[in-house]
Amino acid sequence: MAVNKVFELLFRLLVAGSVLLHAVISADIKDLNNSKMAPVVERVVDSVHLGEGPHWDVSTQSLYFVDIFGKAIHKYVPSTKKHTKAVIGSGHVSLIVPVEGQKDKFLISIGRKLAVVTWDGESDKVSKTEEITEVDNKPDTLDNRFNDGKCDPSGRLWAGTMGGEPENGAVKREKGALFSLVKGQAKQHLSKIGISNGLAWTTDNKTMYYIDSHKGYLEQFDFDIVNGTISNSRNVFTLSKHGVDGVLDGMCIDTDGNLWVAIFNGYRVIKIDPRKPETLLQTVEIPAKQVNKTTSVAFGGPNLDELYVTSASFTVNGVELPPPDHGATFRVTGLGVKGFPDPAFGFSVVNGKPKKMTDKMIIRPISESLEVGTRPCWDAEKKCLYFVDVPTSYAYKYDNETGETVKTKVAQATTKYIPKIIRSPINLLGVGTLLQQIPITICPLDGEQLEVGTRPFWDEDRQILYFVDVKTSTIYKYCYNGNRVAKATVGDEPLAFMFPVEGDDKKFIAGLGRKLVFVTWDGKCPVVQKVELITEVEWEEDYLANRWNGGKVDPYGRLWAGTMGPADENGDTIPGRGSLYSYSKGLLLKHETNIGISNGLAWDVKENKMYYIDTLFPGVYQYDYDPKTGTICNRTCVFDFENNFVEGKPDGLVIDMDGNLIVACIFGGHLIHFDPRTGKVLARIPIPAEQVTAVTFGGFELDKLFVTTAKMEVNGEVPEDPAGVTFVIEGLGISGLGDFKYKP
Residue 321 has pLDDT above 60, yes or no: yes
The residue ranking higher by pLDDT, 25 or 291, is 291
Whole-number Å distance between alpha carbons of 135 and 176: 10
pTM exceeds 0.75 for this model: no
pLDDT for 319: 66
Residue 347 has pLDDT above 70, yes or no: no
Q: Say if residues 700 and 361 touch (Cβ distance below 8 Å).
A: no
Per-residue pLDDT reduced to its tens digit, 9-49: 444 433 344 433 333 333 333 333 334 468 999 999 988 99
- Spell out the residues 6+ positions from residue 502 whose beta carbon is closer than 8 angstroms to its own: 557, 741, 742, 743, 744
**Segment 246-260 mean pLDDT:** 96
Q: What percent of the chain has pLDDT over 90?
A: 62
pLDDT for 373: 79
Angle, vertex CA 303, rays to CA 301 and CA 305, nearest 5: 70
Length of the chain measured in residues: 744
**Other beta carbons less than 10 A from residue 554's beta carbon:** 21
Per-residue pLDDT reduced to its tens digit, 134-148: 999 999 999 999 999
- Would the annotation count 540 as a binding residue? no
* Superfamily classification of domain 40-350: TolB, C-terminal domain (2.120.10.30)
Q: Say if residues 344 and 98 touch (Cβ distance below 8 Å).
A: yes
Phi-psi region of 358 (alpha: psi -120 to 50; beta: other; left: phi over 0): alpha
DSSP labels for 268-328?
EEEEE-TTSTT-EEEEEESTTTT---EEEEEEESTTS-EEEEEEB---BTTB---TTTTT-
Secondary structure class of 541 (helix, strand, coil): helix
Per-residue pLDDT reduced to its tens digit, 542-596: 899 999 999 999 999 999 999 999 988 888 899 999 999 999 999 999 999 999 9
Tally of CA atoms within 13 A in the half-sphere of 492 that contains its CB: 0
For the sheet containing 62-67, what is the strand order?
51-57, 62-67, 72-77, 82-87
Query: Which residues in the chain are classed under CATH 2.120.10.30?
Result: 40-350, 422-730
Residue 282 has pLDDT above 90, yes or no: yes
Q: Say if residues 383 and 366 touch (Cβ distance below 8 Å).
A: no
pLDDT for 481: 67
- Would the annotation count 224 as a binding residue? no
pLDDT for 357: 31
Of the given ranges (181-185, 322-326, 647-651), which has the lowest mean pLDDT?
322-326
Whole-number Å distance between alpha carbons of 739 and 733: 19
DSSP labels for 680-725?
EEEEEEE-SSSBEEEEEEESTTS-EEEEEEB---BTTBPPPTTTT-
Residue 432 has pLDDT above 90, yes or no: no
Per-residue pLDDT reduced to its tens digit, 605-659: 999 999 999 999 989 999 999 998 999 999 999 999 988 888 899 999 999 999 9
Mean pLDDT score across all residues of the chain: 85
Whole-number Å distance between alpha carbons of 468 and 693: 11
Q: Say if residues 309 and 286 touch (Cβ distance below 8 Å).
A: yes
Whole-number Å distance between alpha carbons of 579 and 590: 7
pLDDT for 425: 44
Closest CA to 152 of 118, 119, 189: 189
Of 354-358, 405-409, 456-460, where does the model show the most confidence? 456-460
- Would the annotation count 331 as a binding residue? no
Closest CA to 562 of 570, 572, 543: 543
Per-residue pLDDT reduced to its tens digit, 679-733: 999 988 888 889 999 999 998 889 999 999 999 988 888 888 788 888 888 888 8
Of the given ranges (90-104, 381-395, 657-671), which has the lowest mean pLDDT?
381-395
- Would the annotation count 197 as a binding residue? yes
Residue 535 has pLDDT above 70, yes or no: yes
User: For the chain, give me the number of helices (H) and strands (E)?
Assistant: 4, 53
- Would the annotation count 145 as a binding residue? yes
- For residue 417, CA distances in Å to 98, 333, 410, 442, 691 come to 46, 55, 9, 15, 18
Q: How confident is the model at residue 445 (pLDDT cuts 50, 70, 90)?
A: low
Angle, vertex CA 481, rays to CA 479 and CA 485, nearest 5: 25
- Spell out the residues 6+ positions from residue 539 whose beta carbon is closer than 8 angstroms to its own: none
Whole-number Å distance between alpha carbons of 521 and 517: 13
**C-alpha radius of gyration, the chain, whole number:** 29
Q: What percent of the chain has pLDDT over 70?
A: 84
- Phi, psi at 5, each rounded to 5°: -65, -35
Whole-number Å distance between alpha carbons of 393 and 587: 58
Residue 301 has pLDDT above 50, yes or no: yes
pLDDT for 101: 79
- Would the annotation count 569 as a binding residue? no
pLDDT for 326: 82
- Phi, psi at 130, each rounded to 5°: -120, 110
For the sheet containing 405-409, what is the strand order?
373-379, 384-389, 394-399, 405-409
pLDDT for 343: 92
Fold of the domain spanning 422-730? Neuraminidase (2.120.10)
**Exposure letters 607-618 (e unless 16+ CB within 10 A, then b):** eebbbbbbbbbb
Catalytic-residue membership of 342: no
**Exposure letters 423-440 (e unless 16+ CB within 10 A, then b):** bbebbbbbbbeeeeeeeb
Q: For 195, which DSSP code?
A: B
Closest CA to 518 of 744, 246, 210: 744
Q: 249, 614, 651, 656: which one is catalytic?
A: 249
The residue ranking higher by pLDDT, 396 or 353, is 396
Whole-number Å distance between alpha carbons of 524 and 508: 14
Secondary structure class of 540 (helix, strand, coil): coil
pLDDT for 498: 97
The residue ranking higher by pLDDT, 125 or 182, is 125
Residue 399 has pLDDT above 90, yes or no: no
Q: How confident is the model at residue 447 (pLDDT cuts 50, 70, 90)?
A: low
First to last CA, the chain: 21
Angle, vertex CA 328, rays to CA 323 and CA 332, nearest 5: 135
